[in-house]
Chain A
Amino acid sequence: MSHERTISTYGVVAEFASDKEVLDAAHKAREAGYTIMEAYSPVPVHGLDEALGRKRSRLPWLVFFGGLTGCVGGFFMQYWMSAMDYPWNVGGRPPNSWPAFIPVTFELTILLSAFTAVFGMFGLNGLPRPHHPIFNTPNFDRSTLDHYFLCIEAEDPQFHEEDVTRFLSEMGPEAVNTITDA
């Protein structure tokens, strides 16, 4: 730990032994008005996204515009090449042979949609990222095995370390820890 840099609190993490408890805790935290929180679980838990108040991702819109760029760009790339920059008579077909442009247009639509989906997903998730403060949580290994974690983050407008710790302790967790981002 370096003394030049201030170490701030990342959040308070509660560790639960069952999915039902974490789901319950998430519901209660939301009712209590907490908005910035995250749950960590070894298996998908039905209804957890809703309990955390997750909004739907913006990714579909990004993918749509990525695909649209591929579609329009792919078509006009060919149009510019075949009809404007270098018109060439191929078997008597018109320079703007749009049916012949469809396969490439289609492929570029798919390509850019797929790229936007993959890289947009990385971007929106803040990846690549070598380290995350949540790994400072004691016993966090078990989030990939059999334990469930709920973290109320310090960015939450209602966040007060003692209040949150007390609040989470009432949910019957295995442990409650305050973690720092160092």
Chain B
Amino acid sequence: MSTTDLPYLPSKLKDMQSLSLLIAGVGLAILLLSWIFGAANFYQGYLVGWLFAIGFAAGGLMICCIHNLAHGGWGFLIRRIAEASAMTILPIMVLFLPIMFSLDDLYPWAIRGEDGLSVYHTDPVIGAKLHYLNHGFMWLRYLIITVIWSGAAYLFHTYSKQQDLTGDMKWRRKMRFIAGPMALIYVLTVTIASVDWIMALEPAWFSSIFGVMMAAGHMLTMLSFGIVFLTFLAQWEPVKRAFTLERQHDLGKLLFAFVVFWTYIELSQFIIYWHANLPEEITWYMNRQTGGFNMLSWILFMSQFAIPFLVLLSRSTKRNRKTLLGVASFLLFMRVVDIYWMVAPSINLPHEKTAALYPVKTTAMTGSAFHPLDVIGFVTFGALWFGLFLKNFRSRPILPVNDPYFSLNAEIKDSEA
């Protein structure tokens, strides 16, 4: 089959793209106005929404890496989705600029006194971290992550496009060649990213497993979305034929694996910190065991672990399209709750002892724990990412038909790939 006689996506996707970008435009306008008018809750809402969007984009990049390294039939259908999603990294990273320009409104370490030094430079814990947590280095890290992630996404996209045109094995080798190093670099850079974007909200606190937690979140986001979107596309040919039960089962198994992985990482951190109960480590959980956030912690544990775990445990639920769609959509929503749970308690510091660690308040800290801007933030960024994704996705064939190992529905060929 050549690329030319491939059916392109129905025009429905074009309407969805326009609608998403319209919602995103309105949302961004509201967020921009709230920023100009100095709403304290702008920062939390914007950061939560932005982290939600970058989760799709970085998760897409990671799936490109893993599928090119491991191959296998599971990835052929989700590959185009992952590639289109990874190509949104650059615009999403550019949208981090409002936060880069107002670091001192969000991150305590970034507040500068009259002398130009951080107001926390005399603090024994935060002061010692200022070699890393300073404006210049933060900008450098931001630029490096943007260049590496979007560069890798661009390479995957370009090589894959060439493969579509020629079907040459050379492109597969090239993709595999960057997939290995990129998987390694991603794990290193996602640690840096997680420290910069979330952990530095509480600069006195630290955790070495934090980057893995974020990576697990990225994968969960993209896998859930992949399943939801493929189920949607399966209403039409050619995905209807290609999204076989076996391929769906494979994606279900991966989703299950990452639900367990996320829980394993979260619990590792929790058990160690809870059990040691050291003053410099326990603040994260003090904030999350106070008031409403305690309830949220339990909701998160039940909804992002217990329920999906028990449902996905059975083979028949993973092979039932409606059940899997339900679980994947539910997990997609829980991603927002998870990101809110990671960000909001660190900004609001509900526990008086943790709040006392940061005597100089950022603008964000003066906001409320939950605010309509939080909802606007994630709706805006969700819609924005989806619109950008659809724009990339529509520009290419839905399936990697010219991949030497791909066949529309031959399971046996899949297993040899």
Do residues B271 and A100 form an inter-chain contact, with CB atoms below 8 A? yes
B270 within 8 A of A: yes
A63-80 interface code vs B (CB 8 A; 1 in, 0 out): 010000000000000000
Nearest-Cβ distance from residue A88 to partner chain B, whole angstroms: 15
Do residues B271 and A103 form an inter-chain contact, with CB atoms below 8 A? yes
Contacts of B275 in A (CB 8 A): 93, 97, 99-100
Q: How many residues belonging to A are interface residues under a CB distance threshold of 8 Å?
A: 11
Do residues B271 and A99 form an inter-chain contact, with CB atoms below 8 A? yes
Contacts of B313 in A (CB 8 A): 64
Do residues B277 and A91 form an inter-chain contact, with CB atoms below 8 A? yes
B232 within 8 A of A: no
Do residues A102 and B271 form an inter-chain contact, with CB atoms below 8 A? yes
Do residues A99 and B315 form an inter-chain contact, with CB atoms below 8 A? no
Do residues B274 and A99 form an inter-chain contact, with CB atoms below 8 A? yes
- Report the Cα distance A107→B217, complex, angstroms: 24
B267 within 8 A of A: yes
B36 within 8 A of A: no
Contacts of A56 in B (CB 8 A): 315
Tell me which of A60, A64, A97, A99 contacts B270 (CB under 8 A).
Answer: A99
A56, A60, A91, A99 — which one has the most chain B CB atoms within 10 A of its CB? A99
Do residues A102 and B267 form an inter-chain contact, with CB atoms below 8 A? yes
Contacts of B184 in A (CB 8 A): none
Nearest-Cβ distance from residue A120 to partner chain B, whole angstroms: 16
B412 within 8 A of A: yes
A129 within 8 A of B: no
**Identity of the chain B residue whose Cβ is nearest the Cβ of A46 in the assembled complex:** B412
B290-333 interface code vs A (CB 8 A; 1 in, 0 out): 00000000000000000000000111000000000000000000
Interface size class of B (residues with CB under 8 A): 10 to 19
Contacts of B277 in A (CB 8 A): 91, 93
- Report the Cα distance A100→B313, complex, angstroms: 25
Nearest-Cβ distance from residue B124 to partner chain A, whole angstroms: 25
Contacts of B314 in A (CB 8 A): 60
Nearest-Cβ distance from residue A145 to partner chain B, whole angstroms: 23
**Identity of the chain A residue whose Cβ is nearest the Cβ of B274 in the assembled complex:** A99
- Report the Cα distance A15→B313, complex, angstroms: 40
Interfacial residues of chain B within 245-283, with CB under 8 A of chain A in the complex: 267, 270-271, 274-275, 277
- Report the Cα distance A119→B83, complex, angstroms: 44
- Report the Cα distance A100→B272, complex, angstroms: 9
**Identity of the chain A residue whose Cβ is nearest the Cβ of B273 in the assembled complex:** A99
**Identity of the chain A residue whose Cβ is nearest the Cβ of B264 in the assembled complex:** A106
Contacts of A93 in B (CB 8 A): 275, 277
Do residues A60 and B267 form an inter-chain contact, with CB atoms below 8 A? no
- Report the Cα distance A176→B412, complex, angstroms: 32
Contacts of A97 in B (CB 8 A): 275
Nearest-Cβ distance from residue A154 to partner chain B, whole angstroms: 33
Nearest-Cβ distance from residue B387 to partner chain A, whole angstroms: 42
- Report the Cα distance A103→B268, complex, angstroms: 9
- Report the Cα distance A182→B248, complex, angstroms: 48
- Report the Cα distance A60→B267, complex, angstroms: 26
Interfacial residues of chain A within 97-156, with CB under 8 A of chain B in the complex: 97, 99-100, 102-103
Contacts of A102 in B (CB 8 A): 267, 271
Contacts of B270 in A (CB 8 A): 99
- Report the Cα distance A102→B264, complex, angstroms: 11
- Report the Cα distance A61→B172, complex, angstroms: 42
Interfacial residues of chain B within 216-254, with CB under 8 A of chain A in the complex: none
- Report the Cα distance A100→B270, complex, angstroms: 10
Contacts of B267 in A (CB 8 A): 102
Do residues A60 and B271 form an inter-chain contact, with CB atoms below 8 A? no
A-B CB proximity, top 7 nearest: A99-B274, A99-B271, A100-B275, A102-B271, A102-B267, A99-B270, A99-B275
17 A–B contacts, CB within 8 A, in A order = A46-B412, A56-B315, A60-B314, A60-B315, A64-B313, A91-B277, A93-B275, A93-B277, A97-B275, A99-B271, A99-B274, A99-B275, A100-B271, A100-B275, A102-B267, A102-B271, A103-B271
The residues of B with any CB-CB pair to A shorter than 8 Å are 267, 270-271, 274-275, 277, 313-315, 412
The residues of A with any CB-CB pair to B shorter than 8 Å are 46, 56, 60, 64, 91, 93, 97, 99-100, 102-103
16 more A-B residue pairs beyond the given contacts A56-B315, A64-B313, with a C-beta to C-beta distance below 8 A: A46-B412, A60-B314, A60-B315, A91-B277, A93-B275, A93-B277, A97-B275, A99-B270, A99-B271, A99-B274, A99-B275, A100-B271, A100-B275, A102-B267, A102-B271, A103-B271
